[in-house]
Structures are given as structure tokens and as C-alpha cells.
Amino acid sequence: IVDCPPQLDINSINTELKDIENLRHPNLCFIREVVRVDENQVGVFMDDHQGSFLKFSMLQLRENADVFHHAVVQLCKGVDYLHQSGLCHWDIRPETILVSKDQGKFHVAFVDVGLSFYFDLKKLPDLRDSLYHNPAKYMSPEIIMGRGADCRSDLYSLGIVLFETATGANPFDAPTTAGVISAQLNKNAPQAKEINSNVSEETNALILRLLAKESAFRPASASEVAREIASYIFNPSIPPRTGGI
């Protein structure tokens, strides 16, 4: 159950959700139906995925390079499937990623997938409101400015999640929402390897590319990121990297 404005058109949402009812992916938890609970709340029914939010597993992922890399590849595969299906997420953050563990293997999945088409950039609320303090820490500059958002906006948000998972810190954190927005628009991200010396040169460089302020300078697709990260996973036929995650 989540809060929502009274004017939210539930019937239109459910009609649109029928257009994606056949989409399935192991790393995506699609919204399937929204029902009105009362004037200010709705119930959201999603695919069944067990787990806890990413913020509770960051330390475990950070301490094991292979676990970190495999988790990132899963995230990228989910994002790529979404993009290939003509959708964007536009709300990627630790609170929209579930992590579970089965027989020693980690599994990750995005939740709240399928409603990005209701994200009207021309009708954004006042992002300076304290309600948006945490979401703003993961928003791309183009979403904050209300123009030019596309699938590469998800890659920017993914880069922030990777930075935070690798270092334990958000690169654009500030005490107020206005401070976060100012940092997102005007501040370059620090280098992850300067916060966590176990971050490899390759991962550090990839994160910096993902966090480019101009979307044209980010990787072209999530599949490109997945291929690069997959190449980091130990392979005796490939020369060793600089070590670390």
C-alpha cells in the first residue's frame, strides 16, 4: 500500500498495465495491478520476488568481488530487457532493488517496474520538498531539470547505486533536498577508488562514465555495461585486472 494523489486515474493505469502483462524477466518485478484503497492510498500488486532491499546487502556485495560483479550483471540484464521492451524505470535506487540469497548465490531484482510512462517530466512536483530528499540522490540531471530524459537516465541512477554499493557513500548526498539537487546538477562525482581502495581502476572508470552529467557521454546501453562487468569476473584466459571489485 502506497500513498497517492486523489486524482490518480486508476482505470487508465490498469489499462496501460495490460500492455505489458506478458513481459517477464527474472531480474524485474513488474507491477500488474493497482487498486484504490482510499482517497489517498492505493494497493500495488507486483510479481512475487522475495528478498530485502539492497541497502541491507551492500556490505556483503562490497566485500566479495565476484558477488559484486555477478549482482551488477543481473541488474544490467534487467534494465536492458526493460529498455528493449520500450520502457524505462526512472526510479532506480537501493529502495527499488531486492536482494535474496539461495544456496549461497545472490539474486537481485528491480521492483516497481512498469509505471515509468506516468512519470511526466513537465509536471514534476517541487523537488526541493523534503519528501524527495532521498529519491533526488539517485535522479539524473535531465530528470531533475524536467527535460531530455531517456533510457540513459536509468544508467546514471544505476551508476549512483554502484558507487554507493562499492563505497558505502552516496556521491551527491547533502543535508537538504536543495543541496542534493545542486550537487546533482553542478558537482562531479568523486572517484570511488578514493573512498574504497578495493575498487579497481576499471570499475572506477565505468562508474565515472555512468555518472556523466551529459547523457551522450554515458555508456550507450545496459547491455554494454553488462558485457564490461562480465569481463571482470575471473577468467584464467584473460589477463588480471588491477584487483578488487
175-204 average pLDDT score: 94
| pLDDT value at 233 more than 80 | no
Q: What is the pLDDT at residue 127?
A: 62
Q: What is the pTM of this model?
A: 0.90
Q: What is the pLDDT at residue 129?
A: 67
170-185 average pLDDT score: 95
Question: In whole angstroms, how far apart are CA 157 and each of 44, 106, 111, 148, 204?
Answer: 23, 21, 15, 15, 16
Q: What is the pLDDT at residue 69?
A: 93
In whole angstroms, what is the distance from residue 217 CA to residue 194 CA? Answer: 22
Q: Are 83 and 222 in contact (CB under 8 A)?
A: yes
What tens digit of pLDDT does each residue of 137-155 get? 999 999 998 888 899 999 9
Mean pLDDT of the chain: 89
In whole angstroms, what is the distance from residue 82 CA to residue 114 CA? Answer: 9
In whole angstroms, what is the distance from residue 40 CA to residue 146 CA? Answer: 25
Q: Are 3 and 41 in contact (CB under 8 A)?
A: yes
Cα 67 from chain centre: 18
What tens digit of pLDDT does each residue of 190-201 get? 999 999 999 999
123 against 54, higher pLDDT:
54
In whole angstroms, what is the distance from residue 200 CA to residue 2 CA? Answer: 39
121 against 29, higher pLDDT:
29
Q: What is the pLDDT at residue 128?
A: 63
User: Residue for cell digits 487508465?
Assistant: 12
Q: What is the pLDDT at residue 123?
A: 47
What tens digit of pLDDT does each residue of 55-66 get? 999 999 999 888
What tens digit of pLDDT does each residue of 207-224 get? 999 999 999 999 999 999
37 secondary structure, DSSP code: E
What tens digit of pLDDT does each residue of 92-138 get? 999 999 999 988 899 999 998 987 644 444 445 566 667 788 989 99
User: Residue for cell digits 551522450?
Assistant: 216
C-beta atoms surrounding 223 within 10 Å: 16
Q: What is the pLDDT at residue 97?
A: 97
